[in-house]
């Protein structure tokens, strides 16, 4: 490393993929005993996008990745000017999902590697549920940093949560949506601090039962000849998750600021996991941070778990609301229970 230069993990481009089928709260209320008024007032959700039957998480992930690479090719931040030129330079694909294409194996990341034709990329899935993207950035940063031959990684969050919710459970099915988001990161040498500054990660496995898919795993396998009354689906203790989430978001924001020695005024935007607008509002109130600081798009997409933060980053980025040098904070929580946040200089 040249003197005066520091290694950085910089975000070079972003992308997303959202299924075209949009289901508003009113559309949902036709088949589920709910209402637009209840969903909006309890969650801030106005709609969700649902994948077609023949679309899996890898399809959305590949589309989000292509959109990311297309942004990278069009920009002037990297020398390659076509997606075909960039693809062989991808050394790693880290993909977060709670709704993989296949149970156990192969990983959805490997399916995406094939769809992209990123033949030089190592590929793995990680599952920290809704915190997967936050964990994924740190995972990719570590894997790029430790090996001089690795330079570029795609970090992807993708979900088809519509496949793992019980559509008869009104307290749950109204909350989730499908989609994917991605970022391209590169290991660079820069003067001054850039890229990923710091990550806080944590887990509290004692809360594992609060958000769980019981059926189908090794603990509760679906046996030969068994009549499956319902497909494997998410069960949630909403109140317990809510309380955990407000505490996790509040404490992660405080911890990131404290460890980095900055104040909230130094942070341009906070991009939270989009689970429930009320969780964000409660954390903002506790910390005395303006709600405007938090970017929320939950009204349009509902909770897309591992995809929610990269989708939000891409929307902000494409709107031109993030400028080079801005400090962006991500913060989230999910099943596990897991939580965490990243500080990134854009
Ligand atoms: N439509 C209409 N009424 C409903 C609905 C619905 N969709 N869902 C529940 N109700 C009713 C209930 O039956 C109950 O009625 P009752 O009082 O007659 O029994 C009433 O509304 C209140 O229900 P609660 O469950 O107590 O509602 P609460 O105010 O706690 O809100 C919610 C529920 C929104 C799920 C809240 O607990 C929450 O946001 N929790 C956190 C959820 C979360 O963030 N999950 C994801 C995190 S991790 C991840 O992203 C995977």
Is 303 noted as a catalytic residue in this protein? yes
Q: What distance in angstroms lies between residue 161's CA and the mean position of ligand 1's atoms?
A: 17
pLDDT above 70 for 229: no
Q: For residue 35, give the 3-state DSSP assignment.
A: coil
Domain boundary assignment for the chain: 6-192, 196-345
> In this model, does residue 4 exceed pLDDT 90?
no
Query: pLDDT band at 175, cuts 50/70/90?
Result: very high
CA of 288 to the centre of ligand 1 (A): 26
Query: What's the pLDDT score for residue 217?
Result: 86
Give me ligand 1 centre to Cα 171, in Å.
Answer: 5
Is residue 273 among the annotated active site residues? yes
Q: Check whether 2 has a pLDDT greater than 60.
A: no
Find out whether the beta carbon of 303 lies less than 6 Å from any atom of ligand 1.
Answer: yes
pTM for the structure as a whole: 0.96
Residue whose CB lies within 8 A of the most ligand 1 atoms, among 238, 239, 337, for a mutation test: 238
109-118, 225-234, 269-278, 288-297: range with lowest mean pLDDT: 225-234
DSSP lists the bridge partners of residue 123 as: 93
Which among 273, 276, 317, 342 is annotated as catalytic? 273
| Whole-angstrom distance, CA of residue 206 vs CA of residue 338 | 11
Q: How far is CA 166 from the centre of its chain?
A: 22
Reported as a pLDDT band with limits 50, 70 and 90, residue 87 is very high
Give me the numbers of helices (H) and strands (E) for the chain, helices first please.
11, 13
Q: Token pair for residue 234?
A: 């998410």
Cα–Cα distances in angstroms (integers) from residue 232 to residues 22, 94, 152, 167, 216, in the given order: 24, 25, 36, 12, 6
Q: Whose CA is nearest to atom 11 of ligand 1?
A: 171
The answer, yes or no, to whether any atom of ligand 1 lies below 6 A from the CB of 34, is yes
Helix intervals (H) in the chain: 25-29, 36-43, 57-74, 83-86, 108-116, 132-146, 170-173, 238-260, 277-287, 298-301, 308-318
- Ligand 1 pocket residue status of 171, Cβ below 6 Å: yes
Class of domain 6-192: alpha beta
Name the one residue in this structure whose structure tokens are 């001054």. 192
Q: What is the pLDDT of residue 152?
A: 98
342 close to ligand 1 (CB < 6 Angstrom): no
CA distance 156 to 65: 7
- What is the rounded average pLDDT of the residues 8-20? 97
Count Cα neighbours of 172 within 13 Å in the Cβ-side half-sphere.
Answer: 20
The reply to whether 6-192 and 196-345 are identical in fold is yes
Q: What is the pLDDT of residues 177-211, one digit of tens each?
A: 999 999 999 999 988 889 999 999 999 999 999 99
Residue with tokens 């709260």: 25
Indicate whether 228 pLDDT > 90: no
What are 269's two structure tokens? 């935007």
The top-level CATH class assigned to 196-345 is alpha beta
Q: Can you tell me which atom of ligand 1 is nearest the CA of 234? A: 51
Is the pLDDT reported for residue 45 higher than 90? yes
Q: What is the pLDDT of residue 202?
A: 98
């Amino acid at each position: 490393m040249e003197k005066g230069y520091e290694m950085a993990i910089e975000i070079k481009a972003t992308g997303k993929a959202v299924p075209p089928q949009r289901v508003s709260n009113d559309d949902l209320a036709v088949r589920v005993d709910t209402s637009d008024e209840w969903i909006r007032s309890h969650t801030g959700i106005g709609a969700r996008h649902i994948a077609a039957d023949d679309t899996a998480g890898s399809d959305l992930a590949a589309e989000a990745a292509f959109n990311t690479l297309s942004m990278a090719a069009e920009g002037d931040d990297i020398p390659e000017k076509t997606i075909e030129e960039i693809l062989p330079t991808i050394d790693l694909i880290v993909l977060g999902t709670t709704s993989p294409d296949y149970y156990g194996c192969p990983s959805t990341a490997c399916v995406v590697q094939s769809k992209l034709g990123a033949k030089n990329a190592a590929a793995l899935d990680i599952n920290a549920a809704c915190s997967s993207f936050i964990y994924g950035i740190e995972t990719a940063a570590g894997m790029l940093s430790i090996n001089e031959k690795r330079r570029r990684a795609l970090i992807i969050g993708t979900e088809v949560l519509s496949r793992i919710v019980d559509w008869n459970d009104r307290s749950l099915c109204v909350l989730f949506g499908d989609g994917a988001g991605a970022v391209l990161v590169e290991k660079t040498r820069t003067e001054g601090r850039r890229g990923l500054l710091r990550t806080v990660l944590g887990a509290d496995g004692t809360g594992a039962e609060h958000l769980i898919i019981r059926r189908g795993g090794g603990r509760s396998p679906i046996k030969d000849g068994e009549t499956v009354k319902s497909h494997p689906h998410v069960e949630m203790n909403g109140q317990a998750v809510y309380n955990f989430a407000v505490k996790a978001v509040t404490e992660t924001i405080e911890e990131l600021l404290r460890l980095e020695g900055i104040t909230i005024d130094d942070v341009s935007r906070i991009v939270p996991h989009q689970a429930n607008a009320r969780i964000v509002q409660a954390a903002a109130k506790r910390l005395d941070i303006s709600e405007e600081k938090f970017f929320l798009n939950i009204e349009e997409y509902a909770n897309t778990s591992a995809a929610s933060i990269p989708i939000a980053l891409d929307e902000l980025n494409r709107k031109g609301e993030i400028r080079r040098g801005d400090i962006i904070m991500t913060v989230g929580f999910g099943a596990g229970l897991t939580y965490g946040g990243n500080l990134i200089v854009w």
